[in-house]
Amino acid sequence: MGNSFRENVKDELSFLGITAKELSQKAKIPYQTLENYLNSRATIPPADYACRIAKVLNTSVENLLGGEDNSNALAEDKKQEKHILTLISRLSPENKKAILQVLTTMVRGQT
């Protein structure tokens, strides 16, 4: 993650493969307002908007503000888990069920 709110939101958008327009719709924030937060004149949004943005991006406001240390292995593991969940969310119900069965089998095999 970058150091600024703007960079961190852009990183998350890229990671999740969604556009700023999609984020604005899902977070119920006017697109132009969101664009203002993401351009070079960026400011930090009010708390309610920051919470909505973080919720849609499946992260914390603290993370978007650059407050979490993402340089350790735990942060990388969390990023991988988020990516897995994002991919699973795009599957059909039938494929989700199949993935659940595979994961259950894999976890049981570790014990």
Cα dist from 15 to 12, 19, 60, 83, 97, whole Å: 5, 11, 15, 8, 25
Domain boundaries, the chain: 1-68, 71-111
What are the pLDDT digits (tens) for 39-64? 866 678 999 999 999 999 988 888 88
Domain spanning 1-68, CATH architecture:
Orthogonal Bundle (1.10)
Q: Per-residue pLDDT for 21 more than 70?
A: yes
Residue bearing the bigger pLDDT, 14 or 92 = 92
Q: Could you count the other beta carbons within 10 Å of the beta carbon of residue 79?
A: 14
Q: What is the pTM of this model?
A: 0.61
Q: Which helix (H) or strand (E) holds 82?
A: helix 73-89
The one-letter amino acid code at 77 reads D
